[in-house]
Structure 1
Amino acid sequence: MVIKPSCVATASRARGIKYHAPNMSELSTEAIEEWKIKWQPKKVRRQKYGYVTYKLISESRSFPDSSFEHQAIAIALRTWGLRTRDIRFKRVRGNSKADIVVKFATDEEDSYFKKKKNVLAYAYFPNNSPIGGDMVFNDSIWWSKNGTPVNAHELMPDQYPPNTRTKIKTYNLIHVMIHEGGHALGLKHHPTCKECIMFPYYSGKVRLHTHDVGRIQSFYGKRSISKQVIDYFRKRMVRKWGNQ
């Protein structure tokens, strides 16, 4: 059985970056036919939630060390976790098996990226298979904290002199990870809500829309936590990422 990615992000000259998903024509604003399978982790002792584990298995060339990627993954998944009652996320290390595997790969390392060189990332819905929930990010493009152009010498000092004025386009890693994380948890696209993280087109947004929140809570329940507390943790996470 061939399992197709639930989402890929591809370049489109007319409309920027688009996330493609199967059967988009079947979706509507009023009623989105959600994916049927969700994570059902075992609950720990008396806790009301269970842990979905994740692990980074390869780094990006865009950052000096893996602490950047680990922080981005934690922010992306916790953005969803702050809104849900039934699941939390836990990083595992070494040879430990993870529910969600995250990796960066170039178009020379990944056959999908090799065929479609303008794809940013892809992810799999939960599907009761070893690759369910996995996320893969294209490391042939450049990632950054905020998606702004970066001086070419900073990224490729061997190819550009220190005085170059050339700038290279980058993509907001947090935004794409939150979006792909939504797919890894079971969410399809919202085809008409332009403010939603799950909108099919890249926007660089890092805040969940009301529709995103409602949909993820329909899967995993509503967490009893105030908006003020959620905003505090969200701002704290993003601030820590920006200060790295």
Structure 2
Amino acid sequence: MLLLLQAHGPAALLLLLLLLETAAAAPGPPLSHSPWKEQAPQSPNLGVDVAQDASRGSEGLAAQWNPPRCGVPDPPTSPGSRSGRNRQKRFVLSGGRWDKTDFTYKIVRFPWQLVKAKVRRVIAAALKVWSDVTPLTFTEVHSGEADIVIDFTQYWHGDNLPFDGPGGILAHAFFPKTHREGAVHFDYDESWSIGNHLGTDLLQVAAHEFGHVLGLQHTPVSKALMSPFYFFRYPLQLSEDDTQGIQYLYGKPKASREVQEEQLHPPEVETNEITHEQAALMWGTDKNKIYFFQGRGYWRYNPSTHQVDNVYPRRMADWRGVPQEIDAAFQDESGFAYFLKGQQYWKFDPVQVKVLDGYPRLIGQDFFRCSAPSNAF
């Protein structure tokens, strides 16, 4: 280029400037062909995906960040299936039901984090969630065959549904009328805990999987126990959707069971009228369980019927470790109940259904930071 300029002088320089100006003005490729633009997500599509996830329930946009969940596949969605009104028929078609109401269960292996006795209590409590609203009964056996077989295992374990280590898939179970009916598998590598946020709550996951064993599918109803995604809720309770589903399959509790409970816990008062109550407790995730206490008995008030349940009053012995003649009661944000009497209080664990060890304690010392009483005379 330098030799060209030297040979032709100013005319060559002028020609070069014209060529450069023409090249600068030439149009480039359209923006729609930009590689970055083609790979960028389109905002209209993103809006559709978010709306679809939100419409499925399961705690809003749970699927967007892949929280821990049950390993049982979700049922196929169809128009009109978002409402709980269609859920009962789907249970029957997807899971079927057992032809019995009295079940045996066996625990094959246990998680390493928890002692066996606690695991057995939690499994029994998880099954009781379902037996409380149905005529079903569950009895543990330690040998031989069982209707429900519970195992803590890891990765590939023989059913083509491998676990994935901590997080992700927590457990899975098999429906009635299938080749593995009654099998319940928990991921051994999870950090299993009981009634706290320190790990994965075994009670909630177990109760969910037992719902599958009994024939229930996943539900899109928010806050239901049978939602596919794990969210810690305490204390554990069935939603109205869960209750309607299981009672569609097996019916409501038999009246004879209520009679047997009354015989085991005979009330001291022959009426369900509440007079001169000493304390009241609003309990549950939504504080929708209301209990009234008086003397040696207690009543449960049903807000939906605006009446006291007809199997009450019951004896205070049901609240293991709580004294009679309490003065007050309340629930904390973690679901524990506190019972106050005189200068002492008792902390009640709804999972183990008893007062925690180390109680009673002094109200003034723990709640008001009063100094410990002196033993000097």
Q: Which residue of 2 aligns with 1:159?
A: none
For the pair 1:127 / 2:177, whether they are aligned, the reply is yes
Q: 1:70 to 1:38 in 2, by over 3 A?
A: same
Unmatched 5+ stretches in structure 2: 1-61, 259-299, 303-308, 313-317, 320-347, 358-377
> What is the CA–CA distance in structure 1 between the aligned matches of 2:157 and 2:212, rounded to whole Å?
23
Q: Could you tell me how far 1:200 is from its partner in structure 2? A: 1.8
**1:48-92 CA distance string (max 9 Å, x none):** xx41111001111011x211211111011111001002x211111
> What is the CA–CA distance in structure 2 between the aligned matches of 1:68 and 1:210, rounded to whole Å?
28
For the pair 1:202 / 2:250, whether they are aligned, the reply is no
**1:8-67 CA distance string (max 9 Å, x none):** xxx9671522335243314432302113421122xxxxxxxx41111001111011x211
> What is the CA–CA distance in structure 2 between the aligned matches of 1:12 and 1:31, rounded to whole Å?
22
Kept in 1: contact 2:197–2:232 (CA 8 A)? no
Q: Which residue of 1 aligns with 2:146?
A: 98
> What is the CA–CA distance in structure 2 between the aligned matches of 1:200 and 1:242, rounded to whole Å?
32
Q: Higher relative CO (CA 8 A, sep ≥ 6), structure 1 or 2?
A: 1
> Which structure has the larger Rg over C-alpha atoms?
2
Q: Could you tell me how far 1:195 is from its partner in structure 2? A: 1.6
Instruction: Kindly tell me the number of residue pairs found equivalent between the two proteins.
Output: 199
SS in 1 for 2:229: coil
Q: Could you tell me how far 1:175 is from its partner in structure 2? A: 0.4
User: Once structures 1 and 2 are overlaid, which stretch shifts more, 177-186 or 220-229?
Assistant: 220-229
Q: Which residue of 2 aligns with 1:182?
A: 211
2:215 aligned partner, one-letter code: G
Q: Percent of aligned positions with the same letter in both sequences?
A: 25
Kept in 1: contact 2:69–2:169 (CA 8 A)? no
Q: Which residue of 1 aligns with 2:351?
A: 238
Q: 1:35 to 1:236 in 2, by over 3 A?
A: farther
Q: 1:171 to 1:241 in 2, by over 3 A?
A: farther
2:67 aligned partner, one-letter code: G
Unmatched 5+ stretches in structure 1: 1-10, 42-49, 150-169
Instruction: Choose from 113, 122, 143 the match for 1:62.
Output: 113
Q: Which residue of 2 aligns with 1:213?
A: 243
> What is the CA–CA distance in structure 1 between the aligned matches of 2:200 and 2:240, rounded to whole Å?
24
Q: Could you tell me how far 1:237 is from its partner in structure 2? A: 6.1
Q: Structure 1: which 4+ aligned runs deviate by more than 3 Å?
A: 108-114, 224-230, 239-244
Q: Could you tell me how far 1:239 is from its partner in structure 2? A: 3.3
Q: Which residue of 2 aligns with 1:81?
A: 131
1:23 aligned partner, one-letter code: P
Instruction: Choose from 31, 47, 59 the match for 2:86.
Output: 31
SS in 2 for 1:183: helix
Q: 1:175 to 1:242 in 2, by over 3 A?
A: farther
> What is the CA–CA distance in structure 1 between the aligned matches of 2:210 and 2:356, rounded to whole Å?
23
For the pair 1:18 / 2:42, whether they are aligned, the reply is no
Report the TM-score, using the length of structure 1 for normalisation.
0.71
Kept in 1: contact 2:105–2:141 (CA 8 A)? yes
Kept in 2: contact 1:18–1:201 (CA 8 A)? yes
SS in 2 for 1:135: strand
> What is the CA–CA distance in structure 1 between the aligned matches of 2:145 and 2:215, rounded to whole Å?
20
> What is the CA–CA distance in structure 2 between the aligned matches of 1:38 and 1:147, rounded to whole Å?
33
SS in 2 for 1:34: helix
SS in 2 for 1:198: coil
For the pair 1:142 / 2:191, whether they are aligned, the reply is yes
> What is the CA–CA distance in structure 2 between the aligned matches of 1:243 and 1:216, rounded to whole Å?
32
Report the TM-score, using the length of structure 2 for normalisation.
0.47
> What is the CA–CA distance in structure 2 between the aligned matches of 1:124 and 1:241, rounded to whole Å?
33
SS in 1 for 2:68: strand
1:31 aligned partner, one-letter code: N
1:93 aligned partner, one-letter code: H
Q: 1:147 to 1:21 in 2, by over 3 A?
A: farther
Q: Could you tell me how far 1:133 is from its partner in structure 2? A: 1.9
Kept in 2: contact 1:76–1:174 (CA 8 A)? yes
Q: 1:242 to 1:51 in 2, by over 3 A?
A: farther
SS in 2 for 1:21: coil
SS in 1 for 2:161: helix
**1:179-230 CA distance string (max 9 Å, x none):** 0010010000111x21210112112231101111111001111114587669
